[in-house]
Structure 1
């Protein structure tokens, strides 16, 4: 009889779901019955949808508010207080695991990690609970003493988590789809935007929701005359229409062929330090963080830069300078990134937990 794995995620953008989906793809052939559950769907009266909408709205229109919330509740050195929302999700999650008991639970979102840890600590979950951290900067909401093991972005973070929580923690290789690890000639991107030979195409990521000050970023790159900006607008059709209307660069909507597009680019400018960065690393595409979204976005971007995985630009002039320097830094940075992908695969650790 095969094992059952329950993967907990949350539709906050697309990154957490992407990790959950790729984990499910990797483990299903191993005679593992995988279920993926969005913990926001456990919140009654569509309040989970409201929470998602509130977060997206704050990132779009009041980033200072999210920054204040993040600093107050996410990065304090103290353990996070028990919240009614976590308790509610944990109660509903308990019903789910009693109906279909899993052999292991994996959380790819911090709220899920809190709920699963709570159940485990209170002996209401018999299966081991593993947290797969998807942020480069690990804040306290990822950490709960009830969880059994942590899979972290790298070994440095893993050592800090193990010391803080007294639980096993290891670095793991980025969980990206296999097409990002394959080489491509890059022709699809250049054909899609009509790039001329020799033009250096720079992708500007705005995430699945199309957020951040990417219009200003594209304007600065276009004004430099050295780079051709392409704004990846996600599902934000208004943003795409504005970029095209103002003629400040090319704009693409949601795409399922990002690996092919990245293969044709000179660099990626990112503002969230999330899944798109890991995909770029897999493709060998240099990353420059610029005007990151507040909270975990800024902390993650700074953590990547400290580890030598990316560059961090603080002004339009620094952004152009960072892009100019990329060719000289490519070899050194590639070695650091290769170490990320040489780490233990997450599915190997999870498979061991399944027994």
Structure 2
């Protein structure tokens, strides 16, 4: 992904957005990169920083390794932590987030050195950090949080932030009720290539037709880290029932090798042409309600949630189904019924595609800049 330096030689020209991302998988960085692209397209400046690099003592890397190892090898442990500390309405959320406090000084220095007029967290630890600083008067510029989850867990929420931009109106309402923070909906942030049939789509269609003639290609997303529950079982099941399962293994080379020998299936490593791939397929089987899911919605691809990863993944998949933008399959038979219905041309597919694309209501950068101006003039 293309990133702007978090330590430029001097303040950029024009208004500057400081986007606070995190290298937890690829979804947050993907959103950050698109915000930078949109800002620069408008003639503005934008800088991205990985909040994990702001943490001292190597804590950022340790946090990433802990989370990655948990969801890959001990998902039950992450499920317990999520239920105790993150899930809305349960447990006790640590006040102020001690990790965010450790990064406060470095973020303040970065905001000053870049001449940032607004800080935009796209990761929940960043939201805790900016909320903590704003609540104590330590960050002189507004913080507008871009909440990129369908199910907003408690670490996204800090009353010190100036505004939260959310995926849907009901999420925005939850934020307002939980913290009193101003919140509104702007829809997901997805690159424009996902909305129109891209040049690479024809090549993917030809590949899928060659590998599985007459079989609808169904993409299985396992995220950037290649994490999923019983993926091999699902792949064999779909192949046995007339589909061409196409598994996105991310950077998990062990998973790709393990699935590559499965008859009637395609196991892919890191894919650089996601717009073409999604336009070349007929449906997405999703387990996290993350950026791949919203990219599929933008591409007009029906999404079916199945065997979600624990914690926010499971809550997000079910929330997408409750909103009507995706379906949730609780077992193999439900998955098969949903895919047969949604991969075939007809009203069921058209309805699901239209509902997904209706999420994309506004431009996040336009909203961020308007909110920044409004907050400045209201002082």
TM-score range relative to shorter protein? over 0.9
- Structure 1 residue 239 corresponds to structure 2 residue 255: yes
Q: SS state of the match for residue 285, structure 1?
A: coil
Paired with 2:225 and 2:351, the residues of 1 have a C-alpha distance of 33
Q: CA 1:266 to 1:29, structure 2 compared with 1: closer, same or farther past 3 Å? A: closer
1:133-160: CA deviation from partner (whole Å, max 9, x where unpaired): 1110011110101100011111121122
Partner of 1:34: 46
Q: 1:178 Cα deviation (Å)?
A: 0.8
| 2:233 aligned to which of 216, 223, 230 | 216
Per mean C-alpha deviation after superposition, the further-off stretch among 141-150 and 40-49 is 40-49
1:6-25: CA deviation from partner (whole Å, max 9, x where unpaired): 00000100000000000000
Partner of 2:160: 146
Q: Which runs of 5+ in 1 are unaligned?
A: none
1:1-355 correspondence to structure 2 within 5 Å: 2-77=14-89, 80-184=94-198, 186-193=201-208, 194-213=210-229, 214-224=231-241, 226-247=242-263, 249-326=265-342, 327=344, 328-341=347-360, 343-355=361-373
Whether the 8 Å CA contact 2:85–2:93 is kept in 1: the answer is no
Per mean C-alpha deviation after superposition, the further-off stretch among 30-39 and 277-286 is 30-39
Paired with 2:52 and 2:115, the residues of 1 have a C-alpha distance of 20
Q: SS state of the match for residue 44, structure 1?
A: coil
Q: SS state of the match for residue 137, structure 1?
A: coil
Whether the 8 Å CA contact 1:230–1:252 is kept in 2: the answer is yes
Q: CA 1:98 to 1:187, structure 2 compared with 1: closer, same or farther past 3 Å? A: closer
Paired with 2:351 and 2:205, the residues of 1 have a C-alpha distance of 27
Per mean C-alpha deviation after superposition, the further-off stretch among 36-45 and 237-246 is 237-246
Q: SS state of the match for residue 16, structure 2?
A: strand
Whether the 8 Å CA contact 2:123–2:147 is kept in 1: the answer is yes
Whether the 8 Å CA contact 1:105–1:127 is kept in 2: the answer is yes
Paired with 2:41 and 2:329, the residues of 1 have a C-alpha distance of 42
**Number of equivalent positions:** 353
Paired with 2:321 and 2:182, the residues of 1 have a C-alpha distance of 26
* TM score, norm. by length of structure 1: 0.95
Paired with 1:58 and 1:197, the residues of 2 have a C-alpha distance of 38
1:316-351: CA deviation from partner (whole Å, max 9, x where unpaired): 12111111221442222233223211x121111112
Cα RMSD between the aligned structures?
Answer: 1.7
1:161-181: CA deviation from partner (whole Å, max 9, x where unpaired): 123322221111321111101
Whether the 8 Å CA contact 1:3–1:354 is kept in 2: the answer is no
Paired with 2:48 and 2:324, the residues of 1 have a C-alpha distance of 33
Q: SS state of the match for residue 127, structure 2?
A: helix
Per mean C-alpha deviation after superposition, the further-off stretch among 182-191 and 46-55 is 182-191
